[in-house]
């Protein structure tokens, strides 16, 4: 992947000490609508025995999806109840392959989900 190339390049040419070991796995499947996921799945969270908060929102409740007339799908986020850190997220819906980056950034920063809760987002967008 492109990220792997950046790591190899930094280590070979820039004296970097980057590694793939601390990377949070994310992917997208470019179907219609797209499916994007980062971190743990609901099954993995439940199997781990963690006390987790799990929220699901249908795309019918996303203003931009309604505006575009593309309301198939859902968004799901999994949060560790103790630390409030996001464990994983799935977006199956219009522009999910773009909106998932919000979760990737918050997870990489190890910030609590409340960081998103009080952010002001542009409306109407998928990532709000």
CB neighbour list of residue 26: distance below 8 Å, 6 or more residues apart: 36, 37, 38, 39, 100, 104
Q: Is 123 one of the catalytic residues?
A: yes
**CB contact at 8 A, 45 and 54:** yes
| b/e map 75-95, b = 16+ CB within 10 Å | bbbbbbeeeeebbbbbbbbbb
Helix, strand or coil for residue 125?
coil
Instruction: Pick the catalytic residue from 43, 101, 121, 123.
Output: 123
What is the Cα–Cα distance from 77 to 20, expressed in whole angstroms? 24
Q: How far apart are CA 11 and CA 20, in angstroms?
A: 12
Any idea which residues carry the catalytic annotation? Answer: 123
């Amino acid at each position: 992947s492109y990220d792997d190339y950046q790591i190899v390049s930094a280590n070979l040419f820039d004296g970097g000490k980057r590694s793939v070991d601390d990377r949070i796995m994310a992917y997208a499947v470019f179907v219609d609508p797209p499916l994007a996921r980062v971190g743990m799945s609901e099954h993995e969270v439940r199997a781990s025995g963690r006390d987790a908060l799990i929220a699901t929102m249908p795309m019918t409740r996303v203003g931009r999806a309604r505006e575009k007339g593309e309301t198939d799908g859902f968004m799901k986020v999994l949060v560790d109840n103790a630390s409030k850190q996001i464990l994983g997220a799935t977006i199956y819906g219009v522009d999910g392959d773009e909106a998932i980056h919000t979760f990737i950034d918050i997870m990489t920063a190890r910030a609590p989900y409340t960081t998103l809760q009080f952010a002001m987002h542009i409306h109407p967008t998928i990532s709000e």
